[in-house]
Amino acid sequence: MSQHILVSDPKKVQGFTYLCRSAKTTNEAEMNSVGVIPAQWDLFIREGALEPFPSRKSDTILAVYTEYETDETGSYTFGIGTEIAPTDPLPAGMTSYCVAEGTYVVFTTRKGPVSEIVVEAWAYIWEWSKTHKRAFLTDFEVYDERCIDPANSQVDIYISVLE
């Protein structure tokens, strides 16, 4: 599996503000088909993806994991949205979050069907986490121009780590 995932050295990432619709979940709920992530993606697509985000800085989609209760066993907030300016007004039903500047390891998936490559990458990240110190502050997936074709996409997953 690891030959399909490129892992960067830890690097500093500047903080930013993102806007999304969010919901609380746990990895246990997601693995037992009672989680919120598939429904969040369905809602995002039904609403026209980035159309509800008029003040977006780009067309890059972010899937963000934040407000971790503890670690991978606790609850967290999941949201799909995009980066905005910190002063932009919030549309109804949206929440903004600040991703603080921090150190991240970037996992780049292989190219393939987005539904496969992201699950594959998270399985690798969970194994990697057994021997590395995650910060459990904010993690995020970047869906940029490499994801125009959902059958042949490539995603970067930023994992916050302790310095």
pLDDT tens for 47-63 read: 887 776 777 888 899 99
Q: Residue 127 phi/psi, 5° resolution? A: -65, -45
Provide the strand spans (E) within the chain: 6-7, 11-13, 16-26, 61-66, 75-84, 95-99, 102-108, 138-143, 156-160
Is residue 129 packed enough to be buried (19+ CB in 10 Å), middle (13-18) or exposed (0-12)?
middle
The pTM of the full predicted model, rounded to 2 decimals, is: 0.92
Mean pLDDT, rounded, for 114-130: 94
- pLDDT band at 3, cuts 50/70/90? low
Residue 146: pLDDT above 60?
A: yes
Question: Rounded mean pLDDT of 74-95?
Answer: 87
Instruction: Take residue 142 and report the two structure tokens written for it.
Output: 């970047």
CA distance readout (Å), 22 to 13, 81, 111, 152, 156: 22, 9, 27, 27, 20
